[in-house]
Amino acid sequence: MSQLASPPRPQTRRRDVLRRVVVALLAALTGLSLVPTTAGAADQTLTWTAGNSVTAYLTAPETAVAGTATIIFENSRATGNTTGMPHTLTFDTSTPGYNHDVDLNIVANPFDANGGYYEAEVTLTPGTYRYFCSIPGHGPMWGELVVTGDGGEPDPDTTAPTVTADVTGEQDDDGAYVGSATVTLGATDEDGGSGVDTVEYSLDGGAYAAYSAPLQVSEPGAHTVDYRASDVAGNTAEGSVSFTVVEPDVEPEPDTTAPTVTAEVTGEQDDDGAYVGSATVTVAATDEEGGSGVDTIEYSLDGGEYAAYTEALTVSAPGEHTVDYRATDVAGNTAEGSVTFTVVEPDVEPEPDTTAPEVTAAVTGEQDEDGAYVGSATVTITATDEEGGSGLGMVEYSLDGGEFTHYHEALTVSEPGEHTVAFRASDVAGNVGEGSVTFTVVEGDVEPEPDTTAPEVTAAVTGEQDEDGAYVGTATVTLTATDEEGGSGVASVEYSLDGAAFAAYTAPLEVSAPGAHTVDYRATDVAGNTAEGSVSFTVAEEDVEPGPDTTAPEVSATVTGEEDEDGAFVGSATVTIAATDADSGVDTVEYALDGGDWTAYTAPVEVTEPGAHTVDYRATDVAGNTGEGTVTFTVVEADEPEPGECTDTRATVVVDGVDTGVANAETEGGCLNDLIDEDGDYATRGAFVRHVGDVLRPHVADGVLTARELSTILRAAARSTIGA
């Protein structure tokens, strides 16, 4: 957490400016961060400064110690900002492998109310923080701050945890447990410090299982419980306890009491008590008095057949409804109930977006007489979602057949030769538009002229208009900026709605509040040149009633993967199902593999079994209409790699989908990802963590990995679901 401090008084501020000028000059010359502190200040003061550059901060600290800290960020004339270029100091709170407990985002420029000078109080914890400038086009401005707790890296945990077992229950004169014995396991890791990861037990020589609650043993006879605990670092402690269970003299009374079952209806209600749009019925059952325990819970909607109750039931069909429900305990006793309610349609239902965004690419740069780009070519991708209306989701590009990458600024290609850039844009509703552009780059001999020309920026307002020209319901403002004449490329695009503060423009702006509106906008290129504009319009209220939905959803499936010459998929095939419904909306998507049971579709289905396969699929909308389809394909076995060959060629080490950021180096036994072997057979997550430590620890000694990189990979393994 962080808190911005108030700006200093004018007299104090003038003295502070002089001190900061000296500090900035010394920091630039020595690489040190020198900031005067005052009585009652935080444990330490950390200073970042910025200027005209969009590729690096002028000064930034590299290390700190855990505790409170005063963060100073200055982007002012005193630190050399002569163009008015805005910058931010933003702490990363999402990238794996970094600390995420400081939420800091300071925006500063020489012409703001503070003259580009800000302070914030934060609390730092041991680990590494990633910081960056979030202004579009300033992507290279980032770094890391390493925070230590005691001035150095913590020692690795090599001490096994402490694990104990306690056997309780009623005992006879011989010490045997009457009826049952309860084994309670306890584990701590105070000495090691990495924390307990798994606790497991084995009853009478059986397979080890995860311990989650005290173990009750009621089978008469002698028993032995072996137990073990592993910490996050992979250290394991073991133990064993033996005891005897004898039968009790008296049998328990039979359960003749039905369980207690209730139902609750929730949702938005109108003045008449009817549920608007949908009602949710939650059924709960207990069997405290009978004691045998609840066995099944079932429900029947509007007189239909009873079905197993597994989760809250949502009813969206307009009209009166009755849900009958019942619960049965293990002894066979049943309790029943019923609840009645009414569902009405909401006033307005927005039309779903089924139209893909429009996406184009422009290639700019100096060209020779053959049309080739001299020295480099700049590819600028522009995407809008005016017709669909759900708004842009993501824009991506692929250079020369490589993997698609998130597009956030103009792409410069300087490698001589012919190039192809494929590009695509998806909107919030999942529709995708795509295209490609091909060009040639040749080597150049002349340095480009400096960019002194402002970019071009325009605004287009779209939407349904009434006869007075007002936009009905919503007006969408799309900004477009190019820098073809200047050539340095667009760095940022910003807008201000109705006189509010300027904000970064990342997607078309939807304005739905009725009334007159004005959008001011501006664009700045990498060289700092700025162009401005303004557009005004009026929004009128919308009055639309949707009709009933009688049309089935559109559903399709695509099969992807590596194919051989016969079109068979090598090693595996991935089936991706897509469904859209322009009326009431998609409710469920399901699939059945090779004639099996229907299963809810939540993610692409990977099929690895060699042979011919058929996937049936279907989608049902909220109104109950269903669309279906089938796709058929063949999977063949992949060729076995040579011993020691690197088969997992990803650039970094990835554990259970988490990118650790550690380079996937090659070894004699294959790449690091090959050695980790995520698909191996591990009894527990602790066993997987121990395996990772065993196969990677030797590579710290031979210099392939550092101790810190090994610790990062082990933390990712401990947080994974592998073996769990």
pLDDT at 576: 93
Asked if 673 and 657 count as a contact pair (C-beta separation under 8 A), the reply is no
CB atoms within 10 A of CB 393: 17
For residues 17 and 38, what is the distance between their CA atoms, to the nearest angstrom? 16
Size (the chain), residues: 724
DSSP code string of 602-664: -SPEEE-SSEEEEEEEEEEETTS-EEEEEEEEEEEPPPPPPTT------SEEEETTEEEEEE-
Q: Taking the domain 358-446+454-540, which CATH number applies? A: 2.60.40.10
For residues 130 and 137, what is the distance between their CA atoms, to the nearest angstrom? 18
CB-based contacts of 591: which residues, under 8 Å, 6+ apart?
557, 575, 577, 598, 599, 601, 605, 615, 616, 617, 618
Token pair, residue 404, equals 């698609």
pLDDT over 90 for what percent of the chain? Answer: 63
Domain ranges of the chain: 2-148, 162-246, 260-344, 358-446+454-540, 554-636, 652-718
pLDDT at 192: 67
Token pair, residue 79, equals 């630190």
CB atoms within 10 A of CB 718: 22
For residues 139 and 137, what is the distance between their CA atoms, to the nearest angstrom? 6
Question: At residue 720, what are phi and psi to the nearest 5 degrees?
Answer: -80, 175
Model-level pTM greater than 0.75?
no
Residue type, 395: V
**Distances in Å between the alpha carbon of 237 and those of 197, 201, 261, 688?**
12, 12, 45, 16
- H or E element that contains 11: helix 10-30
For 703-714, how does the pLDDT look when each residue is reduced to its tens digit (9 = 90+)? 889 988 988 898
With tokens 């000694």, the residue in question is 701
Give the burial string for 134-166 (b: 16+ CB within 10 Å, else e).
bbbbbeebbeebebeeeeeeeeebeebbbbebe
Asked if 476 and 389 count as a contact pair (C-beta separation under 8 A), the reply is yes
For residues 704 and 696, what is the distance between their CA atoms, to the nearest angstrom? 9
CATH of 260-344, one of 3.40.190.150, 1.25.40.10, 2.60.40.10, 3.30.1280.10: 2.60.40.10
Topology of domain 2-148 in CATH is Immunoglobulin-like (2.60.40)
Q: Which residues of the chain have pLDDT under 50?
A: 1, 3-41, 151-152
Q: Taking the domain 162-246, which CATH number applies? A: 2.60.40.10
pLDDT at 28: 41
DSSP character for 679?
A: T
Topology of domain 554-636 in CATH is Immunoglobulin-like (2.60.40)
Closest listed residue to residue 492, CA positions, set 133, 59, 161, 249: 133
Own/partner pairs for 315-323, CB < 8 Å, 24+ apart?
315/278, 315/279, 315/280, 315/281, 315/341, 315/343, 316/277, 316/278, 316/343, 316/622, 317/343, 317/623, 317/624, 318/343, 318/344, 318/345, 319/343, 321/279, 323/263, 323/281, 323/299
For 105-125, how does the pLDDT look when each residue is reduced to its tens digit (9 = 90+)? 999 999 999 999 999 999 999
For residues 500 and 536, what is the distance between their CA atoms, to the nearest angstrom? 14
With tokens 């600390």, the residue in question is 99
DSSP character for 330?
A: T
3-state SS of 255-315? Answer: CCCCCEEEEEEECCECCCCCEECCEEEEEEEECCCCCCCEEEEEEEECCCCCEECCCCEEE
Which 3 state secondary structure label does DSSP give 539? strand
Largest CA distance in the chain: 105
Asked if 721 and 656 count as a contact pair (C-beta separation under 8 A), the reply is yes
Torsion of CA 449, 451, 452, 458, to 10 degrees: 140
Query: Within a 13 Å sphere around the CA of 287, how many CA atoms are in the beta-carbon half?
Result: 23
Token pair, residue 499, equals 């006189």
Token pair, residue 116, equals 């580009």
**Edge-to-edge order in the sheet of strand 117-124:** 2-4, 117-124, 67-74, 44-49
User: Left, alpha or beta for 709 (phi > 0: left; psi -120 to 50: alpha)?
Assistant: alpha
Asked if 666 and 646 count as a contact pair (C-beta separation under 8 A), the reply is yes
Strands 279-286 and 209-210: unpaired
pLDDT at 36: 37
